[in-house]
């Protein structure tokens, strides 16, 4: 079919509109060389697993050379692969092998900052105050008689001040860790560099990029103080209008290739109208739905979120995305098993370690999987969700690696608990994550209880999370038809979500405390738990043929 044949056809050609995209966190997916850290050889060996799972695309969290101060989000060279993960040739081979299995690939681009070991930053430090090399970053003299106070009151998103002082007396800005100096996007060299990095990966065949921290790249050049409780508008660094010009230029790069490339934004913004601006037809194609990701397991809240999502995306004709988890947030099974089932970064420290009924959390995570896979748009699946892994909350402090843990002095445990290496097989650690007889232990310890959650145990086991995901992904492909089919709510109790997609499929999710009667239907396609005749038990979802 050609794209000129009409809007509808071109829409169905835009793979990112309905894709199921699997996030690989390379450190923790699979270790091919036995050093206890995941790598590209490990991923390559598991591609058949991802193909059998039925995903349409893989998003690779950063795999570039990095000192790993923020697990790879401190990039020292955007055009190579960290030796701990492999080589550029292996990455090219992996992209090609994924394509041969009809799996598209997405790489992570981190524009807000680079590593403090990036050649640009090393040069800037060496060149000294007033140098052109420092213009690529935000270097300033400090305040106070000897410049001993930071240039302004901005705080790092990871805790502590957003400025670090060098021995020569100047300070540099880092919205995240000190090892992640912020780039100065007012400088044309920064813009040219990133457009070239995009071309570098598009020319290696990647089908899209995930844009890290997309809304914070532009800064108020006056670097004025502000009250974070009542930030001025425009905000000094969040969601400034200038960012749109940057992403319009990126879109032009993406559109310069005959095969469509997708731009996917990490856009955490509370205001839906501001969020939608990133999805204008000449900017990003999609952005993660963090409202859905943070939403409590509550029918009213979820319905409100789904409706708001669809209303936000419709005017810009962008596909919604449905995300339950990623490498930054508490795993779904743990979250849904707690009394407080919502997620927010601000409350992570407070909720950490609060009791979680994992059996209940798993039941809800299963239902949530069927819910998200039935909604119109694309779905992001974070590695290990398909195995029903829980958050590992008892990592000893000495082993925690996330800078958030250190920078908040332990008030926030950070994100290590969702980054524990995957269990593939066997009775004890490393659970097939590393090959037999490996020299290195997994870089974070795996719980012994994961012996019951390995991919091996779940493979072919009726009722396992893995088989639920496989069946759902298979059906989603068969049923998807026009992927953008409208969602219509069915009339139900307040605590039940029920909707149709197109003419013949309905999804019902029971979030009430007791069973609910199924609406009229011609058959059950898939259920997240056992049905009792025509009754759908609580915390269970079903796909019905109408």
Residues in contact with ligand GLC by the rule CB under 6 A? 70, 73, 110, 176, 212-213, 266, 327-328
State the Cα–Cα distance between residues 35 and 437, nearest whole angstrom: 11
Name the closest residue to ligand GLC (Cβ): 73
CB atoms within 10 A of CB 93: 14
Residues 6+ apart with CB under 8 A from 180: 69, 70, 73, 74, 112, 113, 114, 115, 116, 174
516 forms beta bridges with: 536
| Minimal distance, residue 271 CB to ligand GLC, in Å | 19
Write out the catalytic residue numbers.
Answer: 212, 266
Pairing of strands 321-323, 104-109: unpaired
| Minimal distance, residue 374 CB to ligand GLC, in Å | 26
| Minimal distance, residue 328 CB to ligand GLC, in Å | 5
CB closer to ligand GLC, 73 vs 275: 73
Instruction: Tell which phi-psi region holds residue 529, choosing left (phi > 0), alpha (psi between -120 and 50) or beta.
Output: beta
Residues, the chain: 546
CB 213 within 8 A of CB 109: no
| Minimal distance, residue 175 CB to ligand GLC, in Å | 8
Number of H helices, E strands in the chain: 16, 18
State the Cα–Cα distance between residues 388 and 337, nearest whole angstrom: 12
CB closer to ligand GLC, 213 vs 289: 213
CB closer to ligand GLC, 107 vs 475: 107
Angle between helices 40-53 and 465-479 (to 10 degrees): 60
Where do the DSSP E strands lie in 38-117? 57-60, 104-109
| Minimal distance, residue 161 CB to ligand GLC, in Å | 17
Closest CA relative to residue 250, chosen from 206, 204, 197:
197
State the Cα–Cα distance between residues 287 and 269, nearest whole angstrom: 11
| Minimal distance, residue 46 CB to ligand GLC, in Å | 22
């Amino acid at each position: 079919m050609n794209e000129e044949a009409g809007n509808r056809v071109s829409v169905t050609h835009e793979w990112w509109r309905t894709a199921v995209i699997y996030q690989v966190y390379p450190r923790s997916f699979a270790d091919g060389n036995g050093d206890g850290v995941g790598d590209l050889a490990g991923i390559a060996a598991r591609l058949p697993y991802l193909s059998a799972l039925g995903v349409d695309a893989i998003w690779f969290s950063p795999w570039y050379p990095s000192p790993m101060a923020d697990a790879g989000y401190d990039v020292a060279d955007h055009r190579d692969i960290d030796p701990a993960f492999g080589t550029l040739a292996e990455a090219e081979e992996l992209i090609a092998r994924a394509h041969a299995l009809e799996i598209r690939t997405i790489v992570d681009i981190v524009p807000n900052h680079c590593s403090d070991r990036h050649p640009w930053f090393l040069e800037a430090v060496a060149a000294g105050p007033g140098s052109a090399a420092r213009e690529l970053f935000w270097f300033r003299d400090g305040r106070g008689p000897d410049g001993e106070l930071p240039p302004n009151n901005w705080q790092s998103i990871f805790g502590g001040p957003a400025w670090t002082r060098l021995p020569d007396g100047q300070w540099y800005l880092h919205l995240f860790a000190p090892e992640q100096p912020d780039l100065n996007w007012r400088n044309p060299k920064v813009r040219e560099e990133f457009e070239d990095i995009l071309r570098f990966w598009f020319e290696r065949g990647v089908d899209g990029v995930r844009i890290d921290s997309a809304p914070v790249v532009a800064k108020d050049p006056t670097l004025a103080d502000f009250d974070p409780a009542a930030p001025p508008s425009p905000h000094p660094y969040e969601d400034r209008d200038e960012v749109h010009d940057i992403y319009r230029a990126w879109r032009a790069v993406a559109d310069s290739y005959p095969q469509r490339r997708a731009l996917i934004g990490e856009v955490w913004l509370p205001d839906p109208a501001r969020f939608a601006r990133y999805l204008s037809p000449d900017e990003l194609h999609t952005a993660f739905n963090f409202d859905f990701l943070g939403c409590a397991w509550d029918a009213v809240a979820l319905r409100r979120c789904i409706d708001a999502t669809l209303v936000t995306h419709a005017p810009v004709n962008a596909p919604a995305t449905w995300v339950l988890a990623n490498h930054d947030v508490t795993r779904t099974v743990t979250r849904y098993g707690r009394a407080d089932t919502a997620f927010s970064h601000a409350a992570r420290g407070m909720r950490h370690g609060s009791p979680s009924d994992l059996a209940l959390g798993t039941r809800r995570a299963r239902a949530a999987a069927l819910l998200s896979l039935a909604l119109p748009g694309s779905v992001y699946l974070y590695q290990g969700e398909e195995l029903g892994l829980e958050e590992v909350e008892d990592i000893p402090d000495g082993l925690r690696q996330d800078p958030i843990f250190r920078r908040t002095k332990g008030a926030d445990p950070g994100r290590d608990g969702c980054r524990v290496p995957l269990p593939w097989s066997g009775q004890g650690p490393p659970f097939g994550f590393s090959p037999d007889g490996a020299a290195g232990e997994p870089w974070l310890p795996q719980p012994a209880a994961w012996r019951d959650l390995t991919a091996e145990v779940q493979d072919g086991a009726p009722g396992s999370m893995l088989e639920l995901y496989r069946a759902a992904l298979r059906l989603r492909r068969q049923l998807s038809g026009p992927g953008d089919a409208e969602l219509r709510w069915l009339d139900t109790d307040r605590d039940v979500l029920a909707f149709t997609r197109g003419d013949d499929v309905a999804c019902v999710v029971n979030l009430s405390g007791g069973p609910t009667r199924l609406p009229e239907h011609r058959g059950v396609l898939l259920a997240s738990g056992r049905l009792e005749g025509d009754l759908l038990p609580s915390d269970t979802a079903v796909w019905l043929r109408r």
